[in-house]
Structure formats: structure tokens, C-alpha cells
Amino acid sequence: MAMPYTQPHPDRTVWTVADLEQLPDDGNRYEILHGELLVKPLPSTGHQRIAIRLSVLAVMWCRAHTGWTVLAPGGVHVSETTWLEPDLAIYAAPESADLSWREMPPPLLVVEVLSPSTRRRDRHRKRPAYLSHGVREVWLVDQGTRSIERWTADSEFPETFRDGISWRTEGTLPPLPISDVELFGPPTT
């Protein structure tokens, strides 16, 4: 469940990345969205299974194609008042590059695995922030419907996939195909 964080600074109206860096390492994931601090407690096991499956497939693709890095969870420094942590981000940056989060280019693909408590925020607030920052594609993965929404900066509405999805870079690299079974596991009846 994600909710606005109000302690220990209840009077703070705008949070910055510098403020975020001062928070304790307490096991929570923190994000800032347009100056609002959000706390992301431990995700569900189903959420983590999907995130790990996707991460393994993305890491194998990145290792086979030099010049790419996958980070899960990834950090996206949009501005000093917007720092987001998607479940997965793929960057056009060599795995060996030792760049700070601020130095990383915008990821080309960001994936959010939707949870009941974050679904609305991920879809309606974080997705536009990613796309306006230069992220080329945002996937919203829904375990309940076994579907993936693909959004781009040009999308008015998402493309929805149920049998799997394939991510393509610009250029001649082969795609990263992901089947529904690879992502969600075998269907239950």
C-alpha cells in the first residue's frame, strides 16, 4: 500500500531528492512525485514473482546485447522533486558504467507491476511523469487480468496484451519477447 508520508516532517509541503536521501533505511521504498513523498511498503508475493520473472528475462536479454542495463527496482531521477522507482527499468547504458542515478539517461522501458493500492497512482500519475521525462515505453502489468498495457508518449490509449508482449529497441537488435506464461506463470482454472 502506498500512501503520502507525513512523518517526521508534517509541515513539509514539497519534498526533494535531498530530503529523500536523509530518510532512514527502514526497509520501505520511498518515491517523490511532484514534491509529494510516497512510501511503498513490502509488495505482495504475487507482485514480486512477476517482477522477478520479468527481471530475469530482461537481464538475460541485456547480457546478450552489450550496451544495455536492467535495474530492478530501478531509479528514475525526473527532477529534484520527482524521483520514481519502477519495478523494472531498462537503460541504454553499458552494464559496466558506474553512473549515479542522476547521471543515468532516461530508461527506454519502465515496468510497473500494479497492486491494488498503487494501481491508480501508477496509471494516472507516474505513467505520465515517466513519459514526459523521455521514457519511450511504460508497461503496466496486471496480475489479476493477466494483461500488460503498453503506453508510449504518443499513446492516447494503451495497447493491451494478454498472450505476451515483445519489446523492441530502435535499430537492428532482436526483440525481447515475453509470453504470458513466462510472466504470470501457468493459468489457473
- pLDDT-derived band of residue 123, with 50, 70 and 90 as boundaries? very high
How many beta carbons lie within 10 A of that of residue 101, not counting itself?
Answer: 13
The Cα–Cα gap between 49 and 185 comes to 9
User: Which domains can be identified in the chain, with CATH numbers?
Assistant: 44-184 (3.90.1570.10)
Instruction: Tell me the per-residue pLDDT of 82-117, one tens digit each, with 9 for 90 and over.
Output: 999 999 999 987 766 778 888 888 999 999 999 988
Query: Rg of the chain's alpha carbons, rounded to an integer?
Result: 16
pLDDT of the residue at 89: 94
Q: Is the dihedral of CA 165, 48, 30, 1 positive or negative?
A: positive
The Cα–Cα gap between 140 and 163 comes to 15
Instruction: Tell me the per-residue pLDDT of 154-189, one tens digit each, with 9 for 90 and over.
Output: 999 999 999 999 999 888 889 999 999 999 999 887
Instruction: Tell me the per-residue pLDDT of 57-73, one tens digit each, with 9 for 90 and over.
Output: 999 999 898 888 888 88
